[in-house]
Amino acid sequence: MNTRRAAAHEPPSERAALLTLVTRATRGVDADTALDELDGLATAAGAAVVVRGVQERAAPDAATLFGKGKAAEMAATCQAANVDIVIVDHVLSPAQVRNLEAVFHCRVIDRTELILDIFARRARTREGKLQVELAQLQYLLPRLVGSAQALSRLGGGIGTRGPGETKLETDRRRIRHRIAALKREIAEVSERRGYVRARRRRSEVPVVALVGYTNAGKTTLFNALTGGQAVVSDALFVTLDPLLRRVRLPDARQIVVSDTVGFIDRLPHQLVAAFRATLEEVTEADLLLHVIDAAAPDRDRRERAVRDVLTEIGAGLVPVLEVFNKCDQLSAADRRRLTSSSPRAVCVSATRGDGVPELVDLVASRVEMDTERETFVLDFSSETDRMILAELHRHARVTSQLTVGTQVTVEAEVPRRLRDRLLRRKDIA
């Protein structure tokens, strides 16, 4: 996808029609809510939505998804509105794309291709670009057969055999080679990330990762927790690459807070696979803050979507603390119902700072659960003991410290892994 990103002052370059299908299997899903989310995705991709359409039928049509008659009716509406592109809120087969383009006489893409396009626009770092390109090629490879008619010159006469087949196979081979190269490069990035995580583990700094549905306010909360200036926007998928910042807790201990890519319902499997190196920051975290948009009308659906993705990437067993954001947009009655239904969750407003100090205290208490109280008798004249004292003040909660001459007695609540390492270091010294 080589669509040029329009400048902020330019009007959207494409007029889009959004179409969805409601079947017996999806009748519980609100069509307007699904189209609202698709509208947000289309806007993030730089399109102006001018047509929205819904069809209800028992099952999808194998040829055109919507059925021949309904597709023709929708096509007439789109032509009258001068639509440039049709976006379907489902995964389309190559044959369905080809058949719909013949009916609509314009480009037709599905939900997956739209999300991939947004990720391509948002990618800024080399790692992000590699991961997006891998996802796009993995999506494209099985769909090359859909272009076989344009690429192939197969027929029944002399001079019509071979070239098209060769072109198609050449394209497939090139894509497979590129996919293999991208996987090797991403594996190298993942290995480097592994070294960084190993260093963090050795220093015993707990990692707290923010996860949640896209546009739930994770980056705003990240800035509120860390005092950072990460880019915040009321748009989907603004953060693709993980952001890591050290945070000092009120008891002087340090943690690392990580902001990660937002999740979405029906997140394309190609993206989950391609971004696995990035999502390892989630699976390796000590605590997850599940940031939930408390004011979203489909809050429960979004919560389920995030939990499904966490399970898919292998983070289902990581401890989770639910954080309801944008609580300032709730009425007092709604807020009471929310806190009564989820008593272990915390309500915050990241933009106003409401509830953030309480959240920090709660995070500190959750991180503190993996600690043991230990007493260290150290000597200032020993370099090893001076290093141990520095690490205690950096990563543990020092409850008392008594100095007599060059000897200092420190009582602290120490993370278990740090405790064992410090005691070994003292025994060796």
DSSP string computed for 76-129: HHHHHTT-SEEEESSPPPHHHHHHHHHHHSSEEEEHHHHHHHHHHHH--SHHHH
Q: At 420, is the pLDDT very low, low, confident or very high (cuts 50, 70, 90)? A: low
| Predicted confidence (pLDDT) at residue 210 exceeds the cutoff of 80 | yes
Enumerate residues 6+ apart whose C-beta is below 8 A from 115: 41, 237, 264, 267, 268, 271
Count the Cβ atoms, other than its own, within 10 Å of residue 372: 13
Mean pLDDT of 363-377: 78
Asked if residue 245 lies in contact with residue 222, where contact means CB atoms within 8 angstroms, the answer is yes
Q: How confident is the model at residue 152 (pLDDT cuts 50, 70, 90)?
A: very low
DSSP one-letter code for 28:
T
Q: Which two tokens stand for residue 425?
A: 């270091």
Strands of 136-262 (E only): list them. 207-212, 243-248, 254-259
- Place 203 in a pLDDT band, splitting at 50, 70 and 90: low
Q: What is the structure's pLDDT at 148?
A: 43
Is the pLDDT assigned to residue 30 strictly greater than 80? Answer: no
pLDDT given for residue 348 in this prediction = 93
pLDDT of residue 429: 52
Q: Centre a 10 Å sphere on the Cβ of residue 13 and count the other Cβ atoms it contains.
A: 14
Predicted confidence band at 197 (pLDDT cuts at 50, 70, 90)?
low
As a whole number, mean pLDDT of residues 79-89 equals 93
State the pLDDT at residue 149.
Answer: 45
What's the chain's average pLDDT? 80
**What pLDDT does residue 117 have?**
87
Which residue is it, tokens 């800024």? 124
Residue 337 DSSP one-character state: H
- CB-based contact 21:66 (threshold 8 Å): yes
Model pLDDT, residue 214: 83
Arithmetic mean of pLDDT, 47-71: 90
Percent over 90 (pLDDT), the chain: 23
CA distance 178 to 267: 23
Distances (CA, A) of 278 to 33, 35, 185, 327, 342: 29, 29, 13, 29, 30
∠ CA 350-356-359, nearest 5°, is 125
Residue 12 has pLDDT above 60, yes or no: no
Tokens representing residue 58 in the block: 């028992």
Span of 150-164, 357-371, 412-426 with lowest mean pLDDT: 150-164
The residue ranking higher by pLDDT, 97 or 423, is 97
The more confident residue out of 249 and 203 is 249
Asked if residue 89 lies in contact with residue 38, where contact means CB atoms within 8 angstroms, the answer is yes
8 Å CB contact between 282 and 313 = yes
pLDDT of 23 higher than 90: no
In this model, does residue 181 exceed pLDDT 70? yes
Please state which of the ranges 164-178, 311-325, 354-368 shows the lowest mean pLDDT: 164-178
pLDDT higher than 80, residue 153: no
Q: Give how far Cα 427 sits from Cα of 48, 272, 406, 424, Å.
A: 68, 46, 19, 5
More confident residue, 395 or 292: 292
Residue located via tokens 């990581």: 318
User: Residue 324 — pLDDT band, cuts 50, 70, 90?
Assistant: very high
C-beta separation of 427 from 383 below 8 A = no
pLDDT at 68 over 70: yes
> Is residue 84 very low, low, confident or very high in pLDDT (cuts 50, 70, 90)?
very high
Q: Is residue 381 predicted with pLDDT exceeding 60?
A: yes
pLDDT surpasses 60 at 158: no
